[in-house]
Amino acid sequence: MNIILLGPPGAGKGTQAERLVASRGMVQMSTGDMLRAEKNAGTELGDRIKAVMDAGELVSDEIVSALIDNCLAALKPEQGAIFDGYPRTAAQAGTLDEILGNNGRRLDHVIELHVDEDKLVTRIVGRYTCATCGAGYHDMFKQPKVAGTCDVCGGHEFKRRADDNEQTVRTRMAEYRAKTAPVIPIYEARGILTRIDGMADIDTVSAAIAAVLDGTQTKA
């Protein structure tokens, strides 16, 4: 099964992808994570990416599609893909169809996490991750069970993203509205889009996604 998690910054794409990886053995394909890895590598490409990401703008379609192409080719046939933060433009949506076709795959579900953008700023500025294993946490909504210790790996170092400040978040949201929201009708027309209330608590959102993947919920 191959699915897309679609939604603005802070909608919960990464949080829900992480859960699907744990519960269903699917593979998360986050272009944001891939780009951050490239950025941290300090290459010339990484420096160019850093400038774009830190401004909250979109990296070029060519760069992100090449990343997805490489990752999908490395998947085992039985592994399902969760596209997190990709596609983000109509052009990327077209490229994804091609890449999936070339790999003998098809898109089963597109899940739109429907959220109230004004409330997302709180989610984003409170977010941090384990510096060792990448597990995600939040100052208010998801703290480690033991303060200062990662639930997953026991690490003690945490980090915050350079683009998680209010001003950059506003730019990221404007980019979403202008360039990414227009892909929603494409998938709606194909009958594979389901809209879920992303403002519900994390467990409720997970249950709603599970119902879609298990075919126990009717489509939007």
Are 97 and 112 in contact, with CB atoms under 8 Å apart?
Answer: no
Could you tell me the smallest distance in angstroms from the CB atom of residue 84 to ligand AP5? 6
Minimum CB separation from ligand AP5 for residue 72, in Å?
Answer: 14
Tracing tokens 């990448």 back to the chain, one arrives at: 134
CA distances from 20 to 41, 82, 204 (A): 28, 8, 14
Token duo for residue 185: 């009708």
Which C-beta is closer to Zn ion: that of 126 or that of 155?
155
- Please write down the long-range contacts of 37-43, taking CB distance under 8 Å and 24 or more positions apart: 38/67
The residue from 66, 152, 181, 210 that contacts Zn ion (CB under 5 A) is 152
Closest among 75, 117, 114, 68 to 91, alpha carbons compared: 68
Closest approach, Cβ 3 to ligand AP5, in A, equals: 14
**Candidate list 3, 6, 26, 64; residue touching ligand AP5; CB under 6 A:** 64
Which residues from 13-72 bind Mg ion, rule CB under 5 A?
A: 14
Q: How is residue 135 annotated by DSSP?
A: -
- The active-site residue out of 36, 39, 88, 123 is 88
- Contact criterion met (CB below 8 Å) for 129 and 136: yes
Q: How many CA atoms lie within 13 A of 204 on its CB side?
A: 7
Stretch that binds ligand AP5, among 58-66, 97-105, 147-155, 185-193 (CB under 6 A): 58-66
Instruction: For residue 19, state whether it binds ligand AP5 (rule: CB under 6 A).
Output: no
88 classed as catalytic: yes
Say how many residues touch ligand AP5, by CB under 6 A.
35
- Note the residues at the interface with Mg ion (CB under 5 A): 14
Q: Which residues are catalytic?
A: 13, 88, 127, 161, 172
